[in-house]
Structure 1
Amino acid sequence: MKHIVMFLILSFSTLILISCQSQTKEMTLLDNVSGISISKSNGYGGLNENYFASYSQEESISDFEEILKNAKGNTQDVTNETPTYDILVRYENGDTHGLHLILGNEGEESVFMYIGYEESYTVSPEDTYKLENIIVEEEAY
């Protein structure tokens, strides 16, 4: 009887641990986004406030929001790669988020990180393509 109880406890504990690990973290938006500003990154830690593009139009913002909502938690360490861009997300309630973006090449994933945190969030190759169209076209001007 003692072995059966111990087996059930171990099985239940293992099941809980496995289910916790399989949950994918998603990026969190604090409120409705009111604006997005983009700059070349100077590296980890700070936010470069020399923006080359700012968006406040609903269509552009909704594209960014959708990409951020689709980003999935990533367990790999990406701090050995230098961020390509810094992004300031402004919310209607006045809050802000600073993000680093490592923009992937065509057909590759991209990675977002909240500034000051090591957790990273992966963006699909399709969303990388959308990001590239939004950012690189603006940067060219």
Structure 2
Amino acid sequence: MKASFSLALVLGLFMLAGCGSQQAETMVLLDEKISEVKISKSKGFGDMNEDPFLILKDEDSLNLLEKAITSAVKQSEKVDTTDSDYDVIVEYESNKGLPTHGLHLWLGKENEQSMFMYLTDDSVYLTSAAMTQKLRELLEN
């Protein structure tokens, strides 16, 4: 009896630990090297401005943007998605006819989170406030 109780207790603890360790869903990009990221002033939700004011090609900037995008965490609650600040187009190096990723970016103010959204989806992903600061330095210089 004690052995079966102990076994049930251990299994219960494993199940609880498994439930508590669920990973938050983050944005994904293709598993390909990014060649450039084009950033333009947004024309509004659902539309993509293809006239960039900034084209990033240097490795540091590309790594920063890739980290900002892929570390942004999906939000389950609805968020106001009117009037995005920027449109972001991620292009890949490979000549395999890979698609680009179109994203909207709402750049947070100092000490606030920023928001990303895929052009083709209405799910919202939030960055950390620290990442917002890095994005602000990159985009506003």
TM over 0.5: yes
Q: Check the 8 A contact 1:39/1:50 in 2, yes or no.
A: yes
TM-score in terms of structure 2 length: 0.78
Give ranges in structure 1 of 5+ residues lacking alignment: 1-11
Question: 1:32 deviation in Å?
Answer: 1.7
Instruction: Tell me which of 102, 115, 118 is aligned to 1:114.
Output: 118
TM-score in terms of structure 1 length: 0.78
What secondary structure sits across from 1:119 in the alignment?
Answer: coil
RMSD (Å) for aligned C-alpha atoms: 2.3
**More deviation, 82-91/61-70:** 61-70
Map of 1:24 onto structure 2: 24
Map of 2:71 onto structure 1: 70
Moved over 6 A (4+): none
Map of 2:127 onto structure 1: 123
Query: Partner letter of residue 86 of structure 1?
Result: D
Q: Check the 8 A contact 1:104/1:110 in 2, yes or no.
A: yes
Question: 1:78 deviation in Å?
Answer: 2.5
Map of 2:6 onto structure 1: none
What secondary structure sits across from 1:127 in the alignment?
Answer: helix
Map of 2:105 onto structure 1: 101
Question: 1:42 deviation in Å?
Answer: 1.0
- Whichever structure has more helix as a proportion of its residues is 1
Question: 1:80 deviation in Å?
Answer: 4.0
